[in-house]
Structure 1
Amino acid sequence: MKKLLLTAAAVFTFGFANAQEGGFKVGINAGMPIGTSGDIYSFTGGVDAAYLWNVGDKFNAGVTTGYAYYSGKEFFGVKVNGGFIPVAGTAQYSVTDNLFAGADLGYGLYAGDGNGDGGFYYQPKFGYQTEKIELYAGYKGVSVTGGSIASVNLGFNYKF
């Protein structure tokens, strides 16, 4: 677990050390697991943090991390909860002043019950934004051995 947290801290330290003009945002999200993930997990929730730099007209890119929790369903008296810590790049394009499309791509470090595998992390999203807040809908997935863990989510971010 220490390695996971150190990796996430290193990504953000690098980002802040190289920051020239950008913005920090933190948020929460909740969703429903879909596909085979819906057979194992009942819901998902998480927290996110990101730092983005303005790299072009209406285009921002940066780094993101957080924690995604997957609440397991009980089978024969056993309940296994899942969790991932994404270490990812993020990009966001403002379609209009208030609408945006974005994506997170990186690696999801496993941080759930028992032993588990991490994998390729991806989250396309679309949302509404103002100067200080974002509301979005997204599809979050982690490709793991034998398939993927996926969910549809609604999220809220506050921008500093």
Structure 2
Amino acid sequence: MQFQDAGEFQVRAAPAVVWAFVQRPEQVARCLPEVQDIRAHPDHAEASVAVRAGLLRGTLHLRLNTQPDEAAQRVTVRVQGAGLGSTLTLNAAATLGDPGNGTTSLRWQGEVSVRGPLAAVGGRLMESRARALIERTFQNLQAQLNAAGSTLA
């Protein structure tokens, strides 16, 4: 199963705060829904997330890398994972914008590929679940950045 989506949101934090946040893989990993455990490494983060899809229940073990491009004000995130006999690959990118009012806009796009029982269990349901997970990840990111912006204001 493959799925793509895109969107845009604003956060109440300066671009410098947002840029510092998205460069740290462990910070981005904390935004994943159902995250249970995060281990930070110098160049990546590892996370365990709870999965519930149909009758399947268990844990996915993920490796998350961020690749910042400061000149383009763009960060690319790659997540690879395995668990429950399935594999997951997520590629996402966000471009930061500065509307000039102390906030930051993020235009994002993402693509998820799932193989194995997780893809087979859900069919069409899995697409809506994938969309919800992507949206929730970015909502969590937005909430954490808004909180970071308000503590610095």
* Same fold, TM-score > 0.5, yes or no: no
TM range (shorter): 0.3 to 0.5
Structure (1/2) with the larger strand percentage: 1
User: Which gives a bigger RCO, structure 1 or 2 (Cα 8 Å, sep 6+)?
Assistant: 2
TM-score (norm 1): 0.37
TM-score (norm 2): 0.38
